[in-house]
């Protein structure tokens, strides 16, 4: 239940009563009539506004009750009745950014006990710290946002964090930090974290990516680092020079795509289809293409830029018939891969794991297989004799 302080107009502060608010506005007027010994007909707030809906009344509001006589707006008086300005032991009125808040001795003692080191506690304990910072009505001035102060005051009243719609929690958090209300700061940080929408990790679709491509000037560098394209159909798209570093391209359809000079370093291409893709000068260092299909791909760049797949995981890939002249596959893993009829002339295969790899029909002339693991590899029907700069394992 809410409680309010009722005061008959033109009466002294000491004749006021604290009452509980329940039911309808008529119920409140009936209680006011009984408690104040008058025939209450209307209720006003501290600014002279007529209360016509009980829902407008907040906990610890100071309300003025009339018997039908004209109401004098307190702001037209030189000063509020004694006590509303803070001189009485039960009440303290604050002017926060032009809006008035009245609180009780009970709240002051609660704050002092729970948050003794806070700025508000010091304000409530020693009113001398205010000096002459009082307005013409005697209320103590605080140059802060009333919008963000109200949730703080309500929290101190009942211990619950309640913030109206449209109020920015970050603003309330900043005020809580300013006033040093540590327990509220923790509540607000949790509330802010819970109010943020979950991160969208859903894969980017072909339609979304094509729209992105069309909106980007041709001379601009496209940065798709770390993006999720998992399962997307990117076949036959012009993806030249795009930075896909650490992107998730697993199970993508990249057949016939133009990936010339694209950066696929540390990208996940596992299970993807890149058949007939243009991979001239591609960078795939330490990428994961396990189980991918790269049949009839072209890695050979006439300008001399060599494709770099150093350290890539190519376990079980199917690269049959691909053009890979001068390709760098140093320390890559090609275990159980199918490289049948590939052109690997001048390729760097030093330290490469070629265990159980099918290299039948491959052109390995001038290829460097120094330190490579060829256990179980198939070399039958090679187009040219195998020339190795060093022995193989």
Q: Give me the pLDDT at residue 124, please.
A: 66
N residues, the chain: 393
Q: Which residues pair with 99 in a beta bridge?
A: 96
| Whole-number Cα distances in Å, 167 to 95, 186, 192, 366 | 20, 18, 12, 71
- The tokens for 305 are 């830029």
pTM: 0.50
- The tokens for 51 are 């209360």
Q: Give me the pLDDT at residue 75, please.
A: 42
CATH topology of domain 3-66: Ubiquitin-like (UB roll) (3.10.20)
Binned at pLDDT 50, 70 and 90, residue 85 comes out as very low
Nearest to 125 by CA among 110, 140, 108, 141: 108
pLDDT in tens, 176-222: 998 888 888 988 998 888 877 666 567 888 998 998 888 877 666 78
pLDDT in tens, 359-393: 999 999 999 999 999 999 998 754 444 444 444 55
Residue 223 backbone phi and psi in degrees, to 5: -110, 110
Q: Give me the pLDDT at residue 17, please.
A: 81
CATH 3.10.20.230 range(s) for the chain read 3-66
Q: Give me the pLDDT at residue 69, please.
A: 63
Superfamily (CATH H level) for 91-195: Potassium Channel Kv1.1; Chain A (3.30.710.10)
Binned at pLDDT 50, 70 and 90, residue 109 comes out as low
Which of 58-72, 108-122, 212-226, 327-341 shows the lowest per-residue confidence on average (mean pLDDT)? 108-122
């Amino acid at each position: 239940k809410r409680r309010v302080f009722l005061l008959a107009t033109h009466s002294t502060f000491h004749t006021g009563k604290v009452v509980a608010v329940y039911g309808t506005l008529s119920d409140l007027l009936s209680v006011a009539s009984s408690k104040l010994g008058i025939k209450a007909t209307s209720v006003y707030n501290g600014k002279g506004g007529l209360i016509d809906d009980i829902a407008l009344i907040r906990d610890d509001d100071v309300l003025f009750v009339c018997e039908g006589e004209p109401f004098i707006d307190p702001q037209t008086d030189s000063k509020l009745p004694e006590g509303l300005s803070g001189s009485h032991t039960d009440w303290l009125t604050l002017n926060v950014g032009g809006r008035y808040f009245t609180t009780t001795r009970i709240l002051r003692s609660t704050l002092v006990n729970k948050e003794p080191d806070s700025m508000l506690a010091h304000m409530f304990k020693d009113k001398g710290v205010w000096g002459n910072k009082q307005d013409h009505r005697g209320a103590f001035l605080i140059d802060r946002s009333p919008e963000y102060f109200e949730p703080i005051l309500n929290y101190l009243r009942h211990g619950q964090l309640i913030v109206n719609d449209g109020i920015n929690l970050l603003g309330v958090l900043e005020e809580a930090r300013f006033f040093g209300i540590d327990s509220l700061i923790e509540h607000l940080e949790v509330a802010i974290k819970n109010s943020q929408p979950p991160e969208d990790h859903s894969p980017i679709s072909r339609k979304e990516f094509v729209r992105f491509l069309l909106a980007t000037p041709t001379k601009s560098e496209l940065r798709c680092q770390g993006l999720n394209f998992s399962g997307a159909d990117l076949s036959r798209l012009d993806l030249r020079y795009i930075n896909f570093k650490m992107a998730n391209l697993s199970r993508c359809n990249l057949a016939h795509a133009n990936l010339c000079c694209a950066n696929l370093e540390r990208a996940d291409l596992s299970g993807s289809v890149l058949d007939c893709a243009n991979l001239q000068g591609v960078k795939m260092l330490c990428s994961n293409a396990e189980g991918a299909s790269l049949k009839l791909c072209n890695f050979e760049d006439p300008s001399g830029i060599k494709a770099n797949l150093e350290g890539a995981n190519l376990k079980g890939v199917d690269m049959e018939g691909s053009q890979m002249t001068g390709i760098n596959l140093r320390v890559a893993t090609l275990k159980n891969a199918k490289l049948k009829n590939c052109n690997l002339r001048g390729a760097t295969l030093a330290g490469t794991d070629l265990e159980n790899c099918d290299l039948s029909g491959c052109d390995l002339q001038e290829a460097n297989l120094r330190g490579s693991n060829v256990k179980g590899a198939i070399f039958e029907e090679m187009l040219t004799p195998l020339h190795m700069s060093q022995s193989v394992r």
